[in-house]
Amino acid sequence: MTVPLSATELGKRLDYLLGPVLSPRRSAAPLAQALSALDRRQQDFVLHWIEVIDRSNYEMAYQFAAAAPAALGRLDAAAAEAWIIHAMDAYDRDGLHHGSQEFRQFEAFSRQATATHAATFAEYAPVLELFVCGLAGRRLKLETADEAKTDTETLFLPPRIALFPDKADNCAVYRILATLLWAQCHYGSGQIDLAAICAARADPSRAAALLAHFESLRLEARIAGLFPGIARAMARLRGSAPDPRCAGLAAPAATVDDSIALLERLYGAFDPPALPWRLSLHAGANAVRAARLARERNALAAALAGLMRQHPPPASGGVAPEGRFSIETGQSAGENGGSEFTLRLDGNPVAPLPQLARLIDSILQDLGSIPDEYLQAAGDGHEQTGTGEPQTDDESEPDGHDHGAHFYDEWDCKRRHYRRNWCVLRETDIEPADGAFIDATLDRYRPQIAQLKRTFEMLRGEDRLLKRQSAGDDIDFDALVDGYADLKSGMELPERLMTRRHKAERNLAALFMVDMSGSTKGWINDAERESLVMLCEALEVLGDRYAIYGFSGVTRKRCEIYRIKRFDDPYDDTVRRRIAGITPRDYTRMGAAIRHLTQRLGAVDARTKLLVTLSDGKPDDYSDHYRGEYGIEDTRQALIEAHRAGIRPFCITIDHEARDYLPHLYGPVNWTLVDNVERLPLKVAGIYRRLAT
Amino acid sequence: MVTRPSPPGIRPLPTEARLIRDEPYYEAVGGEIALFEAAHASALPVLLKGPTGCGKTRFIEHMAWRLQRPLITVSCHDDLTAADLVGRYLITGNETVWVDGPLARAVRSGAICYLDEVVEARRDTTVVIHPLADDRRILPMEKRGELLQAPPEFLLAMSFNPGYQSVLKDLKQSTRQRFVAIEFCYPDAALEEKIIRGESAADAATAAALVRLAGMTRNLKGNGLDEGASTRLLVHAAKLIARGIPAAAACHGAIAEALSDDPEMLRAIDEFAASVF
């Protein structure tokens, strides 16, 4: 093994690596001293990661260096890496303070990491989310919080549960908590005015805890009837039998009021036992519920108005229809979240669209019935706002300016992990420009376009009649006559006497992703636009489905995708003018763009899906190290993801250095270099033909 | 050219073989039986709409039994050609022989012809049935120069699942507007329990739990599942349970794995099963 580095050598390296956060009062010497005690392999590990973390934040790197010697004593290399990733995730998500705290709390991390019996939220949430959706019939958000509670839209659950030695039991506790929280929404716990009830008590927090416990007992009984499996798990894990004084809550008719009455009786004389699942009541639940109801009422009014337009009153009716909706709720179901109801317009049943049905269902869950005033269709002109209140659909967005944004992970090749939700991407329409450019292009390339169209026409998939087949739909009489002659002359009748229709159906969707970075300024941009025009002309003949998007952006917070032509858009004047409107913008952060367009393309139903990039150079972005290896590796990772999603990426580039990096990104064959920019418009359609036939 | 009704070697089953003798179990949800009978009496074709496994095929079998007509079912697929339906020439020895397709046989014998999942067939194929599905009620057999007139007992029925979101799997207006449509959906909880008990030896508690489980999976439609568990799957699970398979294993095999391949979804459905039983 190589000799460990001395404290002096380490000091020099650290001075260089951590320079920006060192000062006369905070030198690298103590760090170097501590690190010199490690063996060389560990020292290299620490130095490598300091370098990596430096890319994100120098202070984080310093905190890591300070914690590393002690941490490496406890954690092996794999666990240490997990610890670093965990802390960096916290930094990415919550900032420097939380990130550096995670570095300091490596002991807690090591305890948790070694406790394999624990169920963690991160691991279990995807399953739990489906579970809750199945229970509730609507999507409820799941988030972590120190205590389990719900505001009727989000279920808050503890980040990890390690109460039992068996992991399955800890998962069961999650399931019990989630079911109880759903029951809180479903059986009216959200209606409790917690503040008013608790304020009257000497110790409001004690009152709240007691009430939450009573509610849990009441809901446990309700759940037991529906979900015997959950009831069995609760009986097994609860530890102590419920207090007999609370037995009244188990009656099927018990309501919130019974819990409140019990609080009156037992406030001074009862201590809630320590159950493995402890829930709180959410103080804000009432407000959230009211806001949702207001929102849903508006949406309902708009949907009913839409329904009314679909069912116009009969022209020759004796009685003038009133346009009155009524609703009958069934008694039979309803326990499953999915309630049954019949919607009537002027007494005639109407079939609600699934969206409307879900809305009614959601209101039924909150109110138990639909009040008459909810059943009024919005008048013309205010479908959007209904009663005039602003729409509050996006109130749950973390911050307002991220409305409509998509979040994408980014691959950090140094960390060898994703940075979660690292890139913020928005999709916007491109501003259509004057059509003169298009006319000029069509004019300039008229003969070439005509020829392209002819070539592509020949490729169009059509029925072909295959003759002389051994099996088929019909008899090939020519072959039969020949065969009959053969037969008469003593030979055997040939076997291939059938015709068969063979339909070479084209089942292909192509998405073109156009580089709109600043570097395309000038004739590259012209060539790109001309190429797109020729491509569209050719593809219209071929009949393949295709879409065109531009991409650019500055930094991870502002990745932009520009819509030029969506799959459903016809190739019309607007699209042509949008093509003319393609202008050079900023940088090329390709990873996020590829991930976004992979999703767009993934939503299309086609046997073959092509993602064709028109590019003029390497991925690049302003600052934050995207240029170079990081950007290339992220792009490569995004392309691998696309590949996994069944998409074939291809790149057409004009970058003369492309040979150095494109094979690494797209593989040896899935790219092509057009070395003369002026030839690009003439080549692109041909390249597509080669690719797609 | 000589034609014979059935060439040696390739003998189609006589349509009478598909006459259903025993009553197929079917629980009526609404007025669909009366509607179907009226359509048959008025010589109108019928379109059965609804998600998979909600009883469309069972209904048509039941109606074939009720009306005492032979039933000819064609499962449509994307290679189904017009010749597959109408018929074709075959070569036997040194002569060509015409063989009727299932549709022609149904017309000749006044049977019920049921085209299952008709959108799966090639679009040009569906056009063949157009003259048969309006008031002309004829099947032109171009290759033989023959025009088959359907007898009054003949009925054309087809099924269609409107739940497919694919634009490719939609029924053309010119086709669908020729049919009397009957919509099928999952029965309500009480009826579905009854059906499960009628189809399997399951007890009341098992049937109720299965229906609850189905409700939870149907809640996930559009949230990770393309379709919720159909009544058919519930019957499968109930049959397995009645044979002594533990409920969790039966639901995993008959329901979870049939609905999804996604590991998280499988786990979620398993947990539904663990909760309701």
What's the pLDDT tens digit per position in B43-52?
999 999 988 8
Whole-number Å distance between alpha carbons of B147 and A244: 83
Least confident of A409-413, A625-629, B194-198, B260-264: A625-629
* Contact call for A332 and B91, based on CB within 8 A: no
Q: Which amino acid is at A544?
A: D
Spatial contact of A177 and A169, defined as CB atoms under 8 Å apart: no
Q: Which amino acid is at A232?
A: R
* Contact call for B276 and A137, based on CB within 8 A: no
Q: What is the pLDDT of residue A336?
A: 46
Residue A68 has pLDDT above 60, yes or no: yes
- Residue A631 structure tokens: 């950007």
Helices (H), chain B: 32-41, 56-67, 82-86, 102-109, 123-128, 130-133, 173-176, 189-199, 204-219, 231-242, 247-251, 257-259, 263-276
pLDDT category at A318 given cuts 50, 70, 90 is very low
Whole-number Å distance between alpha carbons of A354 and A442: 46
* Contact call for A475 and B265, based on CB within 8 A: no
What's the pLDDT tens digit per position in A470-521?
887 788 888 888 888 888 888 888 888 888 877 666 778 888 898 888 877 7
What sign does the CA torsion over A585, A586, A588, A589 have? negative
pLDDT category at B243 given cuts 50, 70, 90 is very high
Q: What is the pLDDT of residue A460?
A: 65
What's the pLDDT tens digit per position in A413-464?
877 888 888 888 888 888 888 878 888 888 888 888 887 777 777 666 556 6
* Contact call for A136 and B143, based on CB within 8 A: no
Q: In chain B, which residues have their Cβ closer than 8 Å to the Cβ of A484?
A: 94
User: Among A473, A470, A467, A472, which residue's Cα sits nearest to residue B82?
Assistant: A473
Mutate to test the interface with A, among B191, B213, B275, B276 (most CBs of A within 10 A): B275
Q: What is the DSSP string of A217-249?
A: HHHHHHHHHH-HHHHHHHHHHS-SPPPGGGGGG
Whole-number Å distance between alpha carbons of A440 and A233: 74
* Contact call for B265 and A130, based on CB within 8 A: yes
* % of chain A exceeding 70 in pLDDT: 88
User: E-strand spans in A617-678?
Assistant: 648-653, 671-673
Whole-number Å distance between alpha carbons of A507 and A512: 17
Residue A376 has pLDDT above 90, yes or no: no
Distance from CA of B83 to the nearest CA of A (A): 6
3-state secondary structure labels for all residues of A279-298: ECCCCCHHHHHHHHHHHHHH
Mean pLDDT of the residues in chain A: 79
Residue A110 has pLDDT above 60, yes or no: yes
Packing angle of the helix pair A629-644, A658-666 (nearest 10 deg): 30
Q: In chain A, which residues have their Cβ closer than 8 Å to the Cβ of B89?
A: 474-475
Q: In chain B, which residues have their Cβ closer than 8 Å to the Cβ of A337?
A: 215-216, 219
Q: In chain B, which residues have their Cβ closer than 8 Å to the Cβ of A179?
A: 275
* Contact call for A336 and B94, based on CB within 8 A: no
Whole-number Å distance between alpha carbons of A109 and A103: 9
Query: Nearest residue of A to residue B212 by CA position?
Result: A336
User: E-strand spans in A71-218?
Assistant: 119-120, 141-144, 149-150, 154-157, 160-161
Q: In chain B, which residues have their Cβ closer than 8 Å to the Cβ of A229?
A: 273-277
Residue A400 has pLDDT above 50, yes or no: no
- Residue A61 structure tokens: 């790197």
Distance from CA of B152 to the nearest CA of A (A): 30
Distance from CA of B190 to the nearest CA of A (A): 7
pLDDT category at A246 given cuts 50, 70, 90 is confident
What's the pLDDT tens digit per position in B57-80?
999 999 999 999 999 999 888 778
Interface residues on B facing A, Cβ-Cβ cutoff 8 A: 81, 83-84, 88-89, 91, 94, 96, 122, 143, 166-168, 188-190, 209, 212, 215-220, 222-224, 264-265, 267-268, 271-277
- Residue A357 structure tokens: 């049905």
CB pairs under 8 A between A and B: 89
pLDDT, mean of residues A614-642: 82
Residue B2 has pLDDT above 70, yes or no: no
What's the pLDDT tens digit per position in A178-224?
999 999 888 877 777 777 788 778 888 888 888 888 888 899 888 88
pLDDT, mean of residues A22-34: 83
Name the residue facing B264 among A130, A330, A475 (closest C-beta): A130
Q: What is the DSSP string of A451-515?
A: HHHHHHHHHS--EEEEEEESS-SEE-HHHHHHHHHHHHTT-PPPS--EEEEEE----EEEEEEEE
The helix/strand/coil state of B114 is strand
- Cα–chain-centroid distance for residue A456? 38
**ipTM at complex level:** 0.78
Residue B125 has pLDDT above 60, yes or no: yes
Residue B211 has pLDDT above 90, yes or no: yes
Residue A313 has pLDDT above 90, yes or no: no
- Residue A212 structure tokens: 């939450």
pLDDT, mean of residues B82-88: 86
Name the residue facing B268 among A127, A227, A340 (closest C-beta): A127
Q: Which amino acid is at A618?
A: K
Q: Which residues are A147's β-sheet partners?
A: none
Residue B15 has pLDDT above 70, yes or no: no
What is the set of domains in chain A, with CATH numbers? 7-114 (no CATH), 124-266 (no CATH), 285-313+321-375 (no CATH), 463-503 (no CATH), 508-692 (3.40.50.410)
* Contact call for B215 and A337, based on CB within 8 A: yes
Spatial contact of B273 and B248, defined as CB atoms under 8 Å apart: yes
* Contact call for B219 and A133, based on CB within 8 A: yes
CB atoms within 10 A of CB A424: 18
* % of chain B exceeding 70 in pLDDT: 90
Q: What is the pLDDT of residue A61?
A: 87
Q: Can you tell me which residue has the tokens 């916007």?
A: A428
**Buried residues in B99-114 as b, exposed as e (16+ CB within 10 A):** bbbbbbbbbbbebbbb
Q: Can you tell me which residue has the tokens 């940088």?
A: A587
* Contact call for B81 and A175, based on CB within 8 A: no
Spatial contact of A673 and A616, defined as CB atoms under 8 Å apart: no
The domain over range B15-183 is classified in CATH as 3.40.50.300: yes
Q: Against a cut of 0.80, is the pTM above it?
A: no
A497 touching chain B per CB within 8 A: yes
* Contact call for B212 and A335, based on CB within 8 A: yes
Whole-number Å distance between alpha carbons of B126 and A304: 36
Show which of residues 431-490 on chain A sit within 8 Å of chain B, judged by CB atoms: 473-475, 480, 484, 487
Q: What is the pLDDT of residue A388?
A: 37
Query: Nearest residue of A to residue B275 by CA position?
Result: A229
Q: What is the pLDDT of residue A505?
A: 65
pLDDT, mean of residues A111-119: 74
Type and span of the H or E element at A516: none
Whole-number Å distance between alpha carbons of A256 and A193: 11
Query: Nearest residue of A to residue B91 by CA position?
Result: A475
Mutate to test the interface with B, among A130, A131, A173 (most CBs of B within 10 A): A130
User: Which residues does B113 contact at the CB level (< 8 Å), separation at least 6?
Assistant: B72, B74, B102, B103, B106, B107, B154, B155, B156, B157
Q: Can you tell me which residue has the tokens 């999650």?
A: A174
A134 touching chain B per CB within 8 A: yes
Return the domain boundaries, chain B: 15-183, 189-276
Spatial contact of A142 and A155, defined as CB atoms under 8 Å apart: yes
Q: In chain B, which residues have their Cβ closer than 8 Å to the Cβ of A497?
A: 91
* Contact call for A227 and B275, based on CB within 8 A: yes
pLDDT, mean of residues B84-105: 85
pLDDT category at A393 given cuts 50, 70, 90 is very low
Phi-psi region of A403 (alpha: psi -120 to 50; beta: other; left: phi over 0): beta
Name the residue facing B220 among A133, A480, A503 (closest C-beta): A133
A179 touching chain B per CB within 8 A: yes
What's the pLDDT tens digit per position in A262-299?
888 888 777 777 788 888 887 777 777 777 778 888 88
What's the pLDDT tens digit per position in B160-191?
887 654 444 567 778 889 999 998 888 889 99
What's the pLDDT tens digit per position in A578-621?
888 888 888 888 888 999 999 888 888 887 888 888 888 777 77
- Cα–chain-centroid distance for residue A377? 34
Type and span of the H or E element at A588: none
Spatial contact of B260 and B224, defined as CB atoms under 8 Å apart: yes
Q: Compare B158 and A300 and report the one with higher pLDDT.
A: B158
User: Among A506, A546, A542, A548, which residue's Cα sits nearest to residue A528?
Assistant: A548
User: Among B203, B232, B224, which residue's Cα sits nearest to residue B269?
Assistant: B224
* Contact call for B89 and A333, based on CB within 8 A: no
User: Among A129, A251, A106, A261, which residue's Cα sits nearest to residue A182?
Assistant: A129
* Contact call for A228 and B272, based on CB within 8 A: no
| Residue A473 backbone dihedrals phi, psi, to 5 degrees | -80, -25
Show which of residues 344-363 on chain A sit within 8 Å of chain B, judged by CB atoms: 354
Residue A49 has pLDDT above 80, yes or no: yes
User: Which residues does A114 contact at the CB level (< 8 Å), separation at least 6?
Assistant: A79
**How many alpha carbons lie under 13 Å from residue A173 in its C-beta half-sphere?**
27
Q: In chain A, which residues have their Cβ closer than 8 Å to the Cβ of B275?
A: 175, 179, 227, 229-230
Number of H helices, E strands in chain A: 24, 19
Spatial contact of B100 and B12, defined as CB atoms under 8 Å apart: yes
Distance from CA of B10 to the nearest CA of A (A): 15
Q: What is the pLDDT of residue B248?
A: 93
Query: Nearest residue of A to residue B101 by CA position?
Result: A473
Q: Which amino acid is at B251?
A: C
Whole-number Å distance between alpha carbons of B32 and B58: 13
pLDDT category at A322 given cuts 50, 70, 90 is low
Whole-number Å distance between alpha carbons of B268 and B261: 12
Burial of A548: CB neighbours in 10 Å, binned 0-12, 13-18, 19+: buried
* Contact call for B81 and A134, based on CB within 8 A: no
Q: In chain A, which residues have their Cβ closer than 8 Å to the Cβ of B81?
A: 473, 501
Dihedral angle, C-alpha B22, B24, B25, B29, nearest 10 °: -130
Q: Which amino acid is at B155?
A: L
pLDDT, mean of residues B206-212: 94
Q: What is the pLDDT of residue B65?
A: 93
pLDDT category at A623 given cuts 50, 70, 90 is low
Distance from CA of A126 to the nearest CA of B (A): 7
